[in-house]
Amino acid sequence: MSDGNRFQLRYVGTRFRGAKLPLEVLSDLPAFRDLLVAYAKQEWFGLNHKRRRVPKGFDRSISLDLTGVEEGSAVPQLLWNRDVAQQTLPGFSDELEEIVARSYDDIVRLIDASGRDEFPVSLSSEHIRALNKLGAGLKDGERIEFVGSQDREGNVVYLDAYRRKKLITHVRETYQSRYEGVGVLRANSAEGWAIVDTPDLGELKIPVDQALIYEEFDGNLGAAVQLDIIVELDSFDRFRSVAGVKDISLVDADILAELSRCQQRLNDISNLPKGWHHDTGERVSPQALGVANQLLMKRPSLCSSFRIFPTLQGGVLIEFDANGWDISIEISFTGELELYGVEIAGPGELDDQIFPQIDEAFLAALDLLVGL
């Protein structure tokens, strides 16, 4: 429940510690407002069965102000602006306050139900557009908690990447997700697009600024390209389309050389026979090699500092220095990752963190350590 016209969304995750909100998640706030408006219209029509349209100015009457960001991870404080409502719909303020409060409860119930695999039969296009934006910047291991809400077990209701995916793919066929990696430039056009071959999603047709085509891509077919894009995937994680481009650029020659060095190192240790270390040591598993190569492709800018070794258990150990820490990423025989480190000039130690795979939670933890 809200307290009538105030709403608190708590962002939980490493990136949000110290009341920090990365710019890429700020788009959640207007998306939350749009979802609130969509439910408010639904509530209004429920109270006014004979009306076919909402009153003029209804959308503008539901205006939210960001009044602060409290600690406890990061907690944006949103306030429904009653004065704006009074100006745009005079005499409707009290009714609107009740509608807005019920609309917030509708949102919470929708998200809570999705956690139990209970979904609405259908939603309006306004609901779907807002849902497709709300939480789009969340990474694995992060969530948005609706402060003051409770599910059936008494726990706070939350939205995370998994629950968001289930909800969106139920009410529509696709959802949006961030993709970072390195691909190969296969073609480009002066009309403003480039085709990049990626190891995970295949060939992608990506909209590109025409100036970038002429200044950087033209004449560089076959070159490595760094991607940070929003892709549209279906419920089976199959690629459908490119929904947005955060960054696309040729990989710097020095970075590419270091990436190749690391890939060659992985190739070398993949050829080590069983018993490679004084008659002990398992062969490095394909799973460990695959995860290690995936890491190189996700963060090629770190390759210059990577030192890569096989482990006796058939895994891969990657060590490097960053920000005064000696950091280790140990990839097990099964592909599980362990991230740990020690302070180079001091007694500090980083708590071990275990990740089942290279996902957004792992990349966020790694980026935090290296300052990306």
User: How high is the pLDDT of residue 331?
Assistant: 97
User: How high is the pLDDT of residue 1?
Assistant: 40
Mean pLDDT of the chain: 89
Greater confidence (238 vs 180) lies with 180
Q: Do 146 and 134 contact (CB within 8 A), yes or no? A: no
Q: What is the pLDDT of residues 177-217, one digit of tens each?
A: 888 889 999 999 888 999 999 988 899 999 998 888 888 88
User: How high is the pLDDT of residue 81?
Assistant: 85
User: How high is the pLDDT of residue 236?
Assistant: 58
Cα–Cα nearest to 40, from 55, 65, 62: 62
User: How high is the pLDDT of residue 350?
Assistant: 87
| Per-residue confidence band for 104, with pLDDT thresholds at 50, 70 and 90 | very high
Q: What is the mean pLDDT of residues 345-368?
A: 88
Is pLDDT above 60 for 161? yes
- Distance set, CA 199 to CA 161, 285, 356 (Å): 23, 20, 20
Q: Do 107 and 40 contact (CB within 8 A), yes or no? A: no
Q: How many CB atoms lie within 10 A of CB 252?
A: 14
pTM of the model: 0.55
Q: What is the mean pLDDT of residues 62-73?
A: 87
Q: What is the pLDDT of residues 336-351, one digit of tens each?
A: 999 999 988 888 888 8
